[in-house]
């Protein structure tokens, strides 16, 4: 496995599985990317996003949260997103788990922590996720103190801007609400308090009832 090599998803996985000591590699639009060592600029924000999405999943039967899971959305892409939120297959989800325990298909929502990888996350990876049909794509640019939320419209992403009080509400997952400013300042208690208010809404209760 070499950074920049051009491979199919099948060949990428064959080589990846033959290198058990390899921590992380991704295939994006047919090109291999092997990231540099992870710093706290990535790991600490990553933890907060996992808590936020994981708590939503725990409170929403029929929804699953996956952290750093290899995903196969197509023949030229095998990313390993920092986090993704998926409807279960029996609940209308776009993904399934194959015999090798990889996630196949397009997660409904993907989140990436972009410390040193912003150009990839907002470039080829954004295009690949849109092409695969990922309905919502979130990028936290930790070094720039920026956050992007994209929603898929007519096979392309449009930027979703915060509404009143700096909040963004998911289009795919009713009740999933994010206080963007609290996230950027890593105020975890405020991020979760905002989410809990979203989980207490009629929209979330109706969504949960529809998944049963």
Burial of 85 (0-12, 13-18, 19+ CB in 10 A): buried
Q: Which residue range(s) make up the domain with 57?
A: 38-211
Per the structure, the count of domains in the chain is 1
Regarding predicted confidence, which is higher, 169 or 89? 169
Q: Report the pLDDT averaged over residues 6-18.
A: 92
Q: Is residue 10 part of a domain?
A: no
Closest Cα to residue 103, out of 68, 54, 69?
A: 69
Mean pLDDT of 112-137: 87
Quote the CA–CA distance of 160 and 145 in Å, as a whole number: 17
Model confidence at 198: pLDDT above 70: yes
* 32, part of any domain: no
Q: What integer pLDDT is reported at residue 131 of this predicted model?
A: 93
Q: What is the mean pLDDT of residues 51-58?
A: 98
Q: Is residue 26 part of a domain?
A: no
In a domain, 23, yes or no: no
CA 118 to chain centre: 14
Residue 5 in any domain: the answer is: no
Query: CB neighbours of 130 closer than 8 A, spacing ≥ 6?
Result: 137, 150, 152, 155, 156, 157
Which string of b and e fits 5-39 if b means at least 16 CB within 10 Å?
bebebeebbeebeeeeeeeebbbbebbbbebeeee
Asked if the structure places residue 25 within a domain, the reply is no
- Whether 9 maps to a domain, the answer reads no
49 contacts 34 by C-beta, under 8 angstroms: no
pLDDT at 183 > cutoff 80: yes
Q: What is the mean pLDDT of the chain?
A: 92
Cα–Cα distance for residue pair 129/158, rounded to 1 Å: 13
What's this model's pTM, rounded to 2 decimal places? 0.91
What span, in angstroms and rounded, lies between the C-alpha atoms of 121 and 193? 28
Q: Convert the pLDDT of each residue in 72-116 to its tens digit.
A: 998 889 999 999 999 998 888 999 999 999 999 999 999 999 876
**Structure letter (DSSP) for residue 37:** P
Cα separation of 61 and 78, whole Å? Answer: 27
Residue 63 lies in a domain: yes
| DSSP line for 172-197 | SSTT-EEEHHHHHTT-HHHHHHHHHH
For the cut 90, the answer to whether the pLDDT of residue 37 exceeds it is no
Domain CATH number, residue 100? 3.90.1570.10
Q: What is the mean pLDDT of residues 32-61?
A: 92
> In whole angstroms, what is the distance from residue 187 CA to residue 49 CA?
11
- 151 and 136 Cβ atoms separated by less than 8 Å: yes
| Among the listed residues 10, 49, 47, 51, the one whose alpha carbon sits nearest the alpha carbon of residue 27 | 10
Share of the chain above pLDDT 90, in %: 75
């Amino acid at each position: 496995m070499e950074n920049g090599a051009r491979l199919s998803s099948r060949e990428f996985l064959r080589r990846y599985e033959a290198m058990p000591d390899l921590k992380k590699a991704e295939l994006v639009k047919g090109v291999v990317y092997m990231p540099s060592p992870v710093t706290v600029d990535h790991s600490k924000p990553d933890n907060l996003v996992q808590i936020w999405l994981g708590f939503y999943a725990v409170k929403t039967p029929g929804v699953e949260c996956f952290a750093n899971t290899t995903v196969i959305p197509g023949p030229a892409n095998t990313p390993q997103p920092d986090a993704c939120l998926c409807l279960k297959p029996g609940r209308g989800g776009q993904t399934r788990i194959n015999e090798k325990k990889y996630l196949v298909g397009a997660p409904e929502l993907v989140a990436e922590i972009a410390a040193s990888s912003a150009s990839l996350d907002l470039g080829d990876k954004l295009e690949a996720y849109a092409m695969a049909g990922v309905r919502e794509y979130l990028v936290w640019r930790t070094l720039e103190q920026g956050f992007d939320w994209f929603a898929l419209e007519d096979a392309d992403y449009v930027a979703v801007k915060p509404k009143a009080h700096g909040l963004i509400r998911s289009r795919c997952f009713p009740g999933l609400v994010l206080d963007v400013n609290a996230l950027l300042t890593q105020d975890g208690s405020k991020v979760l308090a905002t989410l809990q208010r979203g989980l207490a809404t009629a929209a979330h209760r109706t969504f949960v009832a529809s998944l049963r």
